[in-house]
Amino acid sequence: MALLEIKNLHVSLEGGTEIVRGVDLSVDRNEVHAIMGPNGSGKSTLAYALMGHPAYEVTEGEILLDGEDVVEMGADERAQRGLFLAFQYPHAVPGVTVASFLRSAVNAIRKARNGGEDDPIKIPEFRKELTAAMDSLKVPKEMTSRYLNDGFSGGEKKRVEILQMALLKPQIAVLDETDSGLDIDALRIVADGVQSLVGPEMGAVVITHYQRILNHIEPDFVHVFADGRIVEEGGPELAHKLEAEGYEAFAPAGAAAGGES
Ligand code: ADP
Ligand code: MG
């Protein structure tokens, strides 16, 4: 059994509209899965449901992490068990510096893994890990003393998210449109950062509308998502086919496949 097993997952919005309509997906460490599909097909809804966002209700199916169903668990509990979601639209948190946010996030995970008892990371150890992660992700030093996402460019926000990922060491990372709004240089740094973390300790689900991030992160599996379902699966060649041919072949009749949403 894979580390993350999604079985026949159905997800509805609070009003009852079903968006994700029966998804099966298995993701292991050391694997990169790309989920590609037109805007409005339900990709972000799938990501939010995986993380336990309260606005998205799982009405059917299972999300098994290491064999355990996490559907009834809150987002924090899922994070403690090694799930990580990088959001499409990160929020600003004025008054909280990047460094203190990252240390709180690390300590929350450590506490949970220590049976609920505080087990704060020693400051020198945290500094060492932070410096190493910042060096490898090319995050400028002065960034850690700024307030989280406050006035950050798109590229800076994404870089801090990848920094958070490097420090939290999740087992499965879900990246929702991490490429959106990035220029070529920022895209390469972020993509290389993700690629460097994928390995025996971590697998990744890369959700994207565009193929371009996949030029930097080679997916092992590509899943085409349309109208709340996976409609085709293949290897990296499928991403190139989509780049060339677009999503028209997969879009439901009358649906628009283009545009930013
Ligand atoms: P994608 O990420 O593939 O672009 P989404 O999951 O964001 O697709 O959206 C799928 C559909 O669900 C869209 O029609 C969108 O408007 C709707 N939707 C998603 N989240 C919400 C929400 N919180 N409130 C209302 N509608 C939503
Ligand atoms: Mg989306």
132 close to ligand 1 (CB < 6 Angstrom):
no
pLDDT at 125: 96
Strand runs labelled E in the chain: 4-13, 18-27, 32-36, 56-65, 68-69, 83-86, 93-97, 147-148, 172-176, 203-208, 221-226, 229-234
pLDDT at 184: 87
208 close to ligand 1 (CB < 6 Angstrom):
no
pLDDT at 259 over 50: no
pLDDT at 48: 93
pLDDT at 131: 94
pLDDT at 136: 83
Percent of all residues in the chain with a pLDDT value above 70, rounded to a whole number? 93
C-alpha distances out from residue 50 to 11, 56, 91, 130, 135, Å = 10, 9, 19, 27, 30
Q: How confident is the model at residue 161 (pLDDT cuts 50, 70, 90)?
A: confident
pLDDT at 89: 61
pLDDT at 67: 95
Q: How confident is the model at residue 257 (pLDDT cuts 50, 70, 90)?
A: very low
Helix axes 154-168, 98-113, angle to 10 degrees: 30
What is the distance between the alpha carbons of residues 50 and 170, in angstroms, rounded to a whole number? 14
pLDDT at 237 over 70: yes
* pLDDT tens column, 100-127: 989 988 998 888 888 889 999 999 999 9
Domains of the chain with CATH codes: 1-26+226-261 (no CATH), 74-170 (3.40.50.300)
- Mean pLDDT, range 166-170, rounded to an integer: 92
Q: Nearest bound ligand to CA 50? A: 1
* pLDDT tens column, 182-200: 888 888 888 898 999 999 9
**Most confident among 44-53, 72-81, 144-153 (mean pLDDT):** 44-53
pLDDT at 88: 58
Q: How far is the CA of 69 from the centre of ligand 2 (A)?
A: 24
Q: How far is the CA of 14 from the centre of ligand 2 (A)?
A: 17
